[in-house]
A = this chain, B = another copy of it.
Amino acid sequence: MSRNAKAGLEDIARAAGVSKMTVSRVLRGSSGFSEETRARVMSEVERLGYLPNRIAAAFGSGGTSTLVGVCVPRFASSLFGSTLESINTSLMRLGYQSMIGSHDQLPEEEEIWLKGLASWRPAGIILAARRHTPETLSLLRDLTVPIVEMWDLNTQPIDVSVGFSHFDDGYTMGRFLMLRGRRRYGYVGAMANRVTTGRNRRDGFEAALREGGISLAASETLEDHPGFYAGYYGTELLISREPKLDGIYYHDDEMAIGGMAWLASRGIRVPDDIGIAGWGGMEAASIQPRRLTTTVVPTALIGKTAAELLVGRMRGDPVQDVTMIPTRLVPGETV
């Protein structure tokens, strides 16, 4: 069938012998037309290859669009990629379109993205960041649309929040490791020059150690993005500085796997000589000779829930302010 971007409601109306409004009603499925009229209109819609114009619709209805803004730290990460995919799919299914951005953990980047988005008068916004610039907060307030903050749970959300506490994930892992009776722990992190959720996990981890009466024996936070090689190299730096460690907690699983590769290359045995714990529940862990002790994060569920909460709010349904999506510490064989 040949689409006709030029055919408008008017053309269909004329062809079907009704008014524009009737066509509009039929197309939007609201009531106010007979079955016979509906059939006639739809057949003309088909015949003329009518292509709806959402720009005009959004404009005509005074800015009520089906556009949603979504901003995450980055796309090229298995965790965020999967969350994003889930959000996008859910929103599409619910009849919304998303405009996506990434901020790489820089609140200023989020602000720039938001300014561009705001001009499109979105019907809702999903953000994956805890820190926002004052300008961002002011813009969000002025837009007066539903906002879902996701990933790191905000118990005092701007509007609605969904996710989990990274601090708690770190704390729980810290407690778990303490039970193993080891005493000298190290930490390997990433993106030292940004404020990341990894930092919260580390804080939680340290809090648990503190409760047990010990403190982190060594820590190495690289400036790089997290990744296999960052874990490899970070471990080398850490161990060079502090060779006598019983265990290492990593920013995420890929870094932990990188770390284990370095340890293996030096003949250091896991978990005999040193215990290893990661975070995230990433796929790469599935092929390690030993199951990695980690915290599994339900990325797709978080995305789906964020999308559904936002749509609920946009439709005016009552929705919960704070939705906690639990993560799960999965003991492996590396600790």
Task: Tell me the smallest distance from the CB of A288 to a CB of chain B, in Å.
Answer: 7
A179 interface residue (CB < 8 Å to B)? no
A185 interface residue (CB < 8 Å to B)? no
Using a CB-CB cutoff of 8 Å, which residues 93-147 of chain A contact chain B?
Answer: 97-102, 112-113, 116-121, 135, 138-139, 142-144
Task: Tell me the smallest distance from the CB of A110 to a CB of chain B, in Å.
Answer: 12
Contact call A142/B3, Cβ cutoff below 8 A: yes
Q: Which residues of B contact A289 (CB under 8 A)?
A: 261, 264-265
Contact call A74/B63, Cβ cutoff below 8 A: no
Contact call B85/A92, Cβ cutoff below 8 A: no
Select from chain B the residue with minimum beta-carbon distance to A72.
B75
Question: Which of A11-19, A156-164, A227-235, A308-316 makes up part of the contact surface?
Answer: A227-235
Complex CA–CA separation, A92 to B56 (angstroms): 23
Residue of B53, B98, B142 touching A119 (CB-CB under 8 A): B53
List 12 A-B residue pairs with CB atoms under 8 Å apart, sorted by A's residue number. A2-B142, A4-B142, A51-B142, A55-B58, A55-B63, A75-B84, A76-B81, A85-B102, A92-B101, A97-B116, A100-B100, A261-B289
Interface residue ranges, A against B (CB under 8 Å): 1-5, 49, 51-56, 58-59, 63, 65, 74-78, 81-82, 84-85, 88-89, 92, 97-102, 112-113, 116-121, 135, 138-139, 142-144, 227-229, 231-232, 254, 257-258, 261-262, 264-265, 283-284, 286-289
